[in-house]
């Protein structure tokens, strides 16, 4: 692509060495892929953070119709929503980075969480990154399309991690494969999410609903058609549980209200009334503080 050293190569007369059991090539390479999926999640989360900072800085210093853009209620909703998404991606990526480290030191439960959690998080975070980049760019209007803003490059690059290390379908199907072959990974996933039990009713309901639906799946191979929707729900529950336990209360509340509860908006900037956008923005982008709760 334009800004990254990706290419298609051909080997002519090259020496090859077997690095795994013959006939088990996919199984061998998937071990590497499962590790480098963390890179995709981390890079997508960092891209979201970059886009958020650029959008919030512009909105803080740009004035239109007699007021800063950051003081306009709808722009405040958009910026806060971008902040919530970026923080959810970051907390999930960092939790899984810890799981990777602990698994390498021999922690069996963390290995199971890593196996399933990385596939789930890689799928969802990398899927959200392009939409996040597009919304951040739009906050700058036409200026966002100017190369000097840095956002066109972010917009071009943001779809790439979703393709690397298994595209969306591959990641979703890998989640089904892991659930079918390693049921202990499913229990490790729920053990992690249920550490937040009792802290938020919306999260509790989402976790319970997900567990019930997974129990009724039967053979995971038979649910391939709905694999993406299932993995999305798993990712949202995972992120929500981490934000409730470790995130800012305003961010966790906004996430649960907009991602886990009832009728949710699909576009960024559709946070429901009552969320504390001022607290979210003050935490995420200190110089973009705005008014009171929306």
pLDDT at 95: 98
HEC readout, the chain: CCCCCCCCCCCCCCCCCCCCCCCCHHHHHHHHHHHHHHHHHHHHHHHHHHHHHHHHHHHHHCEECCEEHHHCHHHHHHHHHHHHHHHHHHHHHHHHHHHHHHHHCCCHHHHHHHHHHHHHHHHHHHHHHHHHHHHHHHHCHHHHHCHHHCHHHHHHHCCHHHHCCCCHHHHHHHHHHHHHHCHHHHHHHHHHHHHHCCCCHHHHHHHHHHHHHHHCCCCHHHHHHHHHHHHHHHHHHHHHHHHHHHCCHHHHHHHHHHHHCCCCCCCCCCCCCCCCHHHHHHHHCHHHCCCCCC
pTM, 2 dp: 0.90
For the chain, residues with pLDDT lower than 70 are: 1-6, 219-221, 286-294
- Domain boundaries along the sequence of the chain: 25-288
Q: What confidence score (pLDDT) does residue 123 get?
A: 96
- What is the model's pLDDT at position 287? 66
pLDDT computed for residue 293 by the predictor = 42
Tell me the CATH number for domain 25-288: 1.20.140.10
């Amino acid at each position: 692509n334009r800004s990254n050293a990706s290419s298609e190569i051909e080997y002519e007369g090259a020496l090859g060495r077997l690095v795994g059991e013959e006939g088990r090539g996919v199984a061998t390479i998937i071990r590497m892929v499962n590790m480098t999926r963390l890179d995709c999640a981390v890079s997508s989360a960092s891209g979201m953070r970059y886009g958020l900072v650029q959008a919030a800085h512009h909105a803080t210093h740009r004035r239109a119709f007699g007021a800063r853009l950051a003081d306009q209620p709808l722009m405040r909703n958009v910026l806060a929503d971008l902040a919530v998404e970026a923080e959810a991606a970051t907390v999930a990526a960092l939790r899984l980075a810890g799981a990777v480290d602990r698994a390498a030191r021999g922690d069996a439960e963390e290995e199971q969480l890593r196996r399933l959690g990385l596939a789930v998080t890689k799928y969802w975070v990398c899927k959200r990154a392009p939409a996040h980049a597009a919304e951040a760019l739009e906050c700058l209007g036409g200026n966002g399309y100017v190369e000097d803003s840095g956002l066109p490059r972010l917009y071009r690059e943001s779809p790439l991690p979703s393709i690397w290390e298994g595209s969306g379908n591959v990641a979703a199907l890998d989640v089904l494969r892991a659930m079918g072959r390693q049921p202990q990974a499913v229990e490790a996933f729920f053990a992690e999410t249920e550490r937040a039990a009792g802290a938020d009713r919306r999260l509790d309901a989402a976790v319970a609903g997900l567990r019930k639906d997974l129990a009724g799946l039967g053979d995971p191979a038979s649910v391939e058609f709905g694999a993406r929707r299932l993995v999305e729900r798993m990712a949202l529950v995972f992120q929500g549980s981490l934000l409730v336990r470790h995130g800012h209360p305003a961010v966790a509340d906004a996430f649960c209200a907009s991602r886990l509860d009832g009728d949710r908006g699909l576009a960024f900037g559709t946070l429901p009334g009552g969320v504390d956008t001022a607290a979210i923005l003050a935490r995420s982008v200190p110089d973009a503080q705005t008014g009171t709760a929306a």
